[in-house]
Amino acid sequence: MSLIVAADQADLVVIAAEEFRLPVPEAQAACLIRGGFLGGPVLGGPVLGGPVLGGAVLVAAQGERVLVIDADVGQVLDEVELDRLGYLSAIRHPAAPAAVVTAGQGQDGSRVYAVAEAGGRLSVTDLAEDVLGASFNPSGTRLLVTPHPTFASTLRVLRWPDGELLHAANASDLGLTGESFGVCGCYLDDDLVLAMTKAGRIVALDGQLGLRGEIGLAPDGRGPDFMIGLSAKEFAVQTWLDGAASASVWRLPPSLAS
């Protein structure tokens, strides 16, 4: 079975065994949290697509609320109001029916929530403020959070699911003189983290956020805003230039791919 989720200003469109239009205006993020993709899903803001195994339940985030939707029947099972408004993003936990939602990424700060589903019901826990949820490690025990653009530039690793701070690092701590970390970062494996500075410099870190090496620079003149691990040796970066998005796929150099 294939699953496609897309949003317009009026509805959230879910296409699985059938097509459903749900009255969820201007949905900003969609994230599969039960059911599994065959291969990598296609992601782009509120658009989610790919072949799936079995019934899929997903979280769609909109404005000030998070919803869990049964994609097989096009039914909203539960919804929870958030206490922070603004732009929302969501990332799926690699094993559990859960996700991390980051809300309110403007100048007023942000809040990161752990969202879990059981029996069609949602629970939402406040994890951290003024950071962005970036990536889970493959085993699902750690969450990488990157700095909010207008607050401190510290990269952090939180324990999942309680959000306890385990590791933190600033670019200056790692000898990256004159640099500061930006919003992009991801895990490739449990002991390999990638992070990007605001100047577009991509570095490899170990699981405790110690520097392992440098990878390169994002394309000149482009503003990177998203990074995702594709395998233990490959990752993708989304960049913007003149209002248009483009993606590039990178492979780790041999010195870091062991």
Taking residue 44's Cβ as centre, other Cβ atoms within 10 Å add up to 13
How many domains does the chain fold into?
1
The 3-state secondary structure of 158-192, one letter per residue: EECCCCCEEEEECHHHHCCCCCCEEEEEEEEECCE
Instruction: Give residue-wise pLDDT tens across range 217-241.
Output: 765 555 667 788 989 999 988 877 7
In which element (H, E) is residue 47 found?
strand 47-62
DSSP state of 40: P
For residues 131 and 145, is the Cβ–Cβ distance under 8 A? yes
CATH number at residue 85: 2.40.128
Q: Which of 182, 193, 192, 190 is nearest to 226 (CA)?
A: 182
The pLDDT score that the predictor gives to residue 18 is 77
- Residue 77 inside a domain? The answer is yes
CA distance 172 to 1: 48
Q: Which of 114, 109, 58 is nearest to 87 (CA)?
A: 109
Sign of CA dihedral 230, 70, 81, 116: negative
- Residue 51 inside a domain? The answer is yes
- Residue 115 inside a domain? The answer is yes
- Residue 11 inside a domain? The answer is yes
End-to-end distance of the chain based on CA atoms, in angstroms? Answer: 36
Instruction: Give residue-wise pLDDT tens across range 82-131.
Output: 876 677 888 889 888 899 988 876 677 889 999 998 888 999 999 999 99
CA distance 143 to 238: 20
Q: Which amino acid is at 40?
A: G
The pLDDT score that the predictor gives to residue 42 is 40
- Residue 15 inside a domain? The answer is yes
Domain that holds residue 109: 1-129
- Residue 154 inside a domain? The answer is no
The pLDDT score that the predictor gives to residue 234 is 92
Taking residue 154's Cβ as centre, other Cβ atoms within 10 Å add up to 17
Q: Which of 70, 66, 32 is nearest to 51 (CA)?
A: 32
The pLDDT score that the predictor gives to residue 39 is 41
CA distance 9 to 200: 33
Burial class of 114 by CB neighbour count within 10 A (0 to 12, 13 to 18, 19+): buried
For the chain, list residues with pLDDT below 50: 37-45, 53-54
CA distance 195 to 169: 11
- Residue 113 inside a domain? The answer is yes
- Residue 156 inside a domain? The answer is no
